[in-house]
Amino acid sequence: MSRIGRVFERLRADGRTGLVTFVTAGDPDMERSAAILRTLDGAGADVLEVGIPFSDPLADGPVIQRASERALAAGATLASSLDVVARVRPQIGAAVVVFSYANPVLAMGLEDFVRRAADAGVDGVLVLDLPIEEADELRDALVPAGIDPIFLLSPTTTDLRLRRAAALGRGFLYGISRLGVTGQRDAVAAGARALAERIRGVTDLPIALGFGISRPEHVAEVGRWADAAVVGSGLVDTIARASDGPDLEAVVDRYVRWLKGEDRERR
């Protein structure tokens, strides 16, 4: 069983909703990016989703777009992002999923990417804009290397494509609870439960739901239907606001513990 599989097995045994945290590699810089990953793990995040900075992140709202811009300006690349994962991997217990658009992977070369990701200790890979119909080559490269292919599903994903993603995917399936780009919202999308139930109807794979989740009550609500909640823009915004101060890691730690219900107030 993969590390991701063990994470979700433990969550189910504990009856707990998992927390998947998204950050952009290299934001605000590579050194602090490594410190943030260690902090997320220490604060109790179950899966660390490491976004590869990209110049044209079409599915991302302004918060994560600005994070990519900051990371690219600081010199972040796919190679340096994998180097950060390799550096922190011996120090963290959480599973690590690399989240990328296809272009950086193709520019590096699929074979080289998979080798370097495996060497870095990456547990899963999600290529956001890779159509499920064209995912066989990626899956066939990842699985022998011990890396779980993760697939993204939306409210408009057809039942046929749901079944295809379930057949190809490993680790967990990532459901986006609303259409449009990433960003913080006041409430969990009305279609989140229906999407989770549709996914449950075709697979036993764990489900993580994201897009718009940024508060502990959102995490608790998602946990009624899914195995984990994904928090991205809220965390990335927290990092942006604290990046010029001396207590970045402490702020990130408090935010994650607040999401998990350990701190009653976000400070």
31 is catalytic: no
49 is catalytic: yes
pTM given for the model: 0.92
- Token couple for 235: 């965390």
Q: In 3D, which of 37, 54, 64, 40 has the Cα closest to residue 120?
A: 37
The secondary structure of 99-111 as a DSSP string is EE-HHHHHHH-HH
Supply the pLDDT for residue 191: 73
Give the neighbor-by-neighbor strand order of the sheet with 207-210. Answer: 148-149, 124-127, 95-100, 47-51, 18-24, 228-231, 207-210, 173-176, 151-153
Asked if the model's pLDDT at residue 68 lies above 50, the reply is yes
Supply the pLDDT for residue 99: 96
Contact indicator for 162, 195 with CB cutoff of 8 Å = no
Residue type, 250: A
Greatest CA span in the chain, whole angstroms? 50
- Across the chain, mean pLDDT equals 91
* Strands in the chain per DSSP E: 18-24, 47-51, 95-100, 124-127, 148-149, 151-153, 173-176, 207-210, 228-231
Supply the pLDDT for residue 181: 40
Query: How far apart are alpha carbons 112 and 102 in whole angstroms?
Result: 14
Query: Does the domain spanning 3-259 belong to CATH 3.40.640.10?
Result: no
| pLDDT tens sequence across 212-248 | 788 899 899 999 999 999 998 899 999 999 998 899 9
Question: Is the bond leading into 28 cis (omega within 30 degrees of zero)?
Answer: yes
Supply the pLDDT for residue 190: 60
Q: What mean pLDDT is predicted for residues 76-99?
A: 98
Catalytic residue among 46, 49, 237, 253: 49
| pLDDT tens sequence across 17-52 | 999 999 999 999 999 999 999 999 999 999 999 999
| pLDDT tens sequence across 148-191 | 999 999 888 999 999 999 999 999 999 986 444 444 444 455 67
Catalytic residue among 41, 60, 221, 237: 60
If one compares 258 and 184, the residue with the highest pLDDT of the two is 258
Supply the pLDDT for residue 186: 47
- Report the chain's terminal Cα–Cα distance, integer Å: 38
Measured CA angle at 128 (ends 122, 129), to 5 deg: 135
